[in-house]
Amino acid sequence: MNIPSTSTHEHDISLFVEEVLRDLGMEIIRSGNNVIGKLGREGPVLALCGHLDTVPPFFPPRIQGGKLYGRGAADDKGGLAAVINAVANTDQERLKGTLLTVFVVDEELRSRGAQEVLPQLRADFGIVCEPTDLKIVNGQKGRLTFRIQSVGKRAHASKPELGKNAIVEMAMLVLRLKDLSLARHTELGHETISVSTIAAGDAVNIVPDRCSIDVDYRYVPPDDASSVLATLRAKLPEARIEFADDPKNFTRPFYLPAHQIITLLGESIRRAGREPQMATMDAGTDASRFNEAGIPTVVFGPGGIAQAHTSDEWIDLHEVEVASVVFQKLIKRALMTQN
């Protein structure tokens, strides 16, 4: 928590995590600042995954009233601590399978870390550790960002009738975006649109001829990036609409209705003294990339998304302890002899 690790600045935290995992007896595989720890060499392979980066700005940690405050406390360092503590409490002599800890960079921006490690990763099932309030998340929406531009005509502001105000045009476009009928998935819910930034104008005495907005779009299957773009262009033909980033960097949706990892995790939660709960989430995680790579994966971890990215980000330390016990039970059930 004391090591700042905002996205693209994960080098120091990766060295720290590597040293901790190595001290726990794990074989270390590095790919850039991504750190993979490995225990065991045979049998089923379980991957416990999380991300080293945080959103800015960094602020130092403190403990108060059973809560840990600090940047990344909920997203994602509390979860990483739960995983590492579970490794520390693993009886390595009883392993009949292989445990991987996969700690990646850049999850908060473009998921570059997951894209880098997945081509070389082999696992039978996985958990991406994110703040889910200790619920098993077996699906999430995909995320796209668009840049939408309206075009007007420049004129002197004293003669607005001689121009065409691109901001006014954009205002009407935004109202139409708000009223669009969006797709719905039975488990993941409705698609959503959020207008997040706007830019226009060169000077107050000029009628602007350009206005652009950046839009966050959360989508559900069977839609994909191309179909969403085509739909927006068809419904807003007068606007210029492009992806705001390379589509490979966008988060895809996933939904895993049933799998052994869900059963194993549910049993582990129950053995830790809690009743397992299922959920889906609107926010994006690397779990979609793991599922795309053929590794059935769900999301689970301590803390809540409501605490993530906030000015006083925090996590309940008891939840971190519970999550660690769950991971210990999971490792035992999935990878150890039962005698």
Q: How does DSSP assign 261-298, residue by residue?
A: HHHHHHHHHHHTTS---EEEESS--THHHHHHTT--EE
**Distances from the Cα of 209 to the Cα of 163, 167, 169, angstroms:** 8, 8, 10
Alpha helices in the chain (DSSP H): 11-23, 78-88, 112-117, 166-178, 225-235, 260-271, 287-292, 317-335
**Domains within the chain, CATH numbers bracketed:** 11-140+253-335 (3.40.630.10), 142-249 (3.30.70.360)
Return all residues near 217 (Cβ < 8 A) that are at least 6 apart. 143, 144, 145, 146, 191, 192, 193, 194, 228
Identify whether 76 is preceded by a cis peptide bond (ω within 30 of 0): yes
- Using DSSP bridges, classify how beta strands 62-64 and 67-69 pair: parallel, antiparallel or unpaired: antiparallel
Query: What are the CA-CA distances from residue 189 to residues 165, 219, 283 (Å)?
Result: 37, 9, 12
| Distances 16 to 1, 13, 120, 141, 262 between C-alpha atoms, Å | 11, 5, 23, 33, 31
Tokens of 324: 């660690």
DSSP tag of 49? E
- Widest CA span of the chain, in angstroms? 86
**pLDDT for residue 338:** 56
Residue for token digits 């994110």?
Answer: 130
Predicted confidence pLDDT, tens digits, the chain (339 residues): 999 999 999 999 999 999 999 999 999 999 999 999 999 988 999 999 999 999 999 999 999 999 999 999 999 999 999 999 999 999 999 999 999 999 999 999 999 999 999 999 999 999 999 999 999 999 999 999 999 999 999 999 999 999 999 999 999 999 999 999 999 999 999 999 999 999 999 999 999 999 999 999 999 999 999 999 999 999 999 999 999 999 989 999 999 999 999 999 999 999 999 999 999 999 999 999 999 999 999 999 999 999 999 999 999 999 999 999 999 999 999 999 654
- Reported as a single tens digit per residue, the pLDDT across 114-126 is 999 999 999 999 9
